[in-house]
């Protein structure tokens, strides 16, 4: 049985985000999609962003590569591999995307071009980013398909994306994302649309690739079980904020924030038959009219007066854990 790897603490961060906010401004409304997110990712670490639909997971991740539409207003600081992403010009951004950092999606066809074969697309990426010869790039393409365990890889290089089954297409997209040996892989629910027996194959593949290639990975999911299989560290997102972070084992065994506790109680798993689920009442707030105070207060069984008036600051009960809830005590600094 395998356990999450310990997080190296001395290395310089691969990703450094300070007070990131993203708003979408239009005539009718302002959507506060991300509201002050700060975190660091070390090289070789897997961070899962866990949250329900609309909580801001995808927008947070896209902001790291500035893959957001014109209407997005980004503030805060984002550094990837030491470089300031917010200040980057267009050509620098293009080099970043698919170079140092690349991204995979739930729907592989967002990343694959239907009119070119898998082999052509991979080779093209390699030639563009690294200026190798076409022959050299094609050779790497074959190695990549073998790396992601596509059977009869040679033959598959000549396949068009639509000729592949769901699982193979997902593998082809991963191969493409790895083509320039990224140090950072951003994965946005890459297994959500897959059947159970295929999902576990892709999760195990990603975990192995991450270890072998030493990549840092940010993995977005709404599924606690998926996070349990792949994360070193988990950040729980609610209404555009990281409301709790911590190592995966600690967080799943001892959640601190009432929302995380509710999420664990709501997640059906074996052995819950006959028990009433401890559902969280209500539904997440609209991001165009965020409540003042704690965004979870309208649904929180433990809410108090103070929760309605001011947004709880981030507490650090232990060096490796954070929570935004007034019930969580700040640790007393040991002498």
Q: Which among ligand SF4, another protein, Mg ion, none contacts residue 58 (Cβ within 5 to 8 A by kind)?
A: Mg ion
Cα separation of 160 and 193, whole Å?
20
Q: Which among ligand ADP, ligand SF4, another protein, none contacts residue 315 (Cβ within 5 to 8 A by kind)?
A: none
Cα separation of 203 and 134, whole Å?
31
Q: Which of residues 188-217 bind another protein (CB under 8 A)?
A: 195-201, 203-204
Cα separation of 231 and 252, whole Å?
11
- Beta carbons of 88 and 24 less than 8 angstroms apart: no
Nearest approach, Cβ of residue 80 and ligand ADP (Å): 18
Integer CA distances (angstroms), 29 to 33, 71, 293, in order: 12, 12, 20
Q: Which among ligand SF4, another protein, ligand ADP, none contacts residue 71 (Cβ within 5 to 8 A by kind)?
A: ligand ADP
Nearest approach, Cβ of residue 324 and ligand SF4 (Å): 7
Q: According to the binding rule CB under 8 A, does residue 88 interact with another protein?
A: no
Burial of 228 (0-12, 13-18, 19+ CB in 10 A): middle
The C-alpha angle 174, 217, 87, rounded to 5 degrees, equals: 100
Q: According to the binding rule CB under 5 A, does residue 60 interact with Mg ion?
A: no
Q: Which of 57, 140, 183, 324 binds ligand ADP (CB under 6 A)?
A: 57
Beta-carbon contacts of 120 under 8 Å, excluding residues fewer than 6 positions away, are: none
Nearest approach, Cβ of residue 298 and ligand SF4 (Å): 8
Q: According to the binding rule CB under 5 A, does residue 191 interact with Mg ion?
A: no
Which spans of this chain sit near ligand ADP (rule: CB under 6 A)?
24, 31, 33, 51, 53-59, 69, 71, 287
Which spans of this chain sit near ligand SF4 (rule: CB under 6 A)?
257-258, 294, 296-297, 300, 302-304, 307, 312, 325-327
């Amino acid at each position: 049985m395998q356990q999450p790897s310990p997080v190296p603490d001395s290395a310089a961060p691969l990703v450094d985000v300070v007070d990131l906010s993203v708003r979408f401004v239009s005539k009718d409304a302002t959507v506060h999609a991300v509201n002050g997110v700060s975190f660091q990712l070390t090289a070789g670490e897997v961070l899962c962003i866990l949250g329900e639909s609309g909580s801001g997971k995808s927008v947070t991740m896209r902001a790291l590569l500035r893959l957001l539409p014109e209407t997005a207003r980004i503030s805060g600081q984002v550094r990837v591999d030491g470089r300031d992403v917010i200040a980057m010009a267009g050509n620098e951004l293009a080099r970043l995307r698919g170079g140092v950092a690349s991204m995979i999606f739930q729907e592989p066809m967002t990343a694959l071009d239907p009119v070119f074969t898998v082999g052509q697309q991979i080779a093209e990426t390699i030639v563009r980013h690294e200026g190798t010869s076409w022959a050299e790039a094609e050779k790497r393409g074959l190695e990549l398909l073998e790396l992601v365990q596509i059977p009869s890889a040679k033959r598959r290089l000549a396949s068009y994306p639509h000729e592949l089954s769901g699982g193979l297409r997902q593998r082809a997209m991963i191969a493409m994302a790895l083509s320039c040996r990224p140090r950072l892989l951003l994965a946005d629910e890459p297994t959500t649309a897959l059947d159970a027996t295929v999902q576990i194959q892709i999760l195990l593949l990603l975990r192995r690739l991450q270890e072998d290639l030493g990549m840092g990975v940010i993995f977005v999911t709404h599924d606690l079980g998926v996070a349990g299989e792949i994360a070193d560290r988990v950040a729980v997102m609610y209404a555009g904020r990281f409301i709790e972070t911590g190592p995966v084992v600690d967080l799943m065994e001892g959640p601190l924030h009432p929302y995380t506790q509710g999420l664990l109680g709501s997640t059906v798993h074996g052995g819950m038959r006959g028990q009433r689920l401890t559902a969280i009442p209500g539904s997440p707030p609209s991001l165009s009219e965020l409540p003042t105070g704690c965004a979870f207060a309208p649904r929180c069984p433990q809410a108090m007066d103070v929760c309605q008036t001011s947004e709880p600051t981030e507490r650090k009960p232990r060096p490796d854990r954070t929570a935004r809830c007034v019930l969580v005590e700040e640790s007393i600094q040991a002498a």
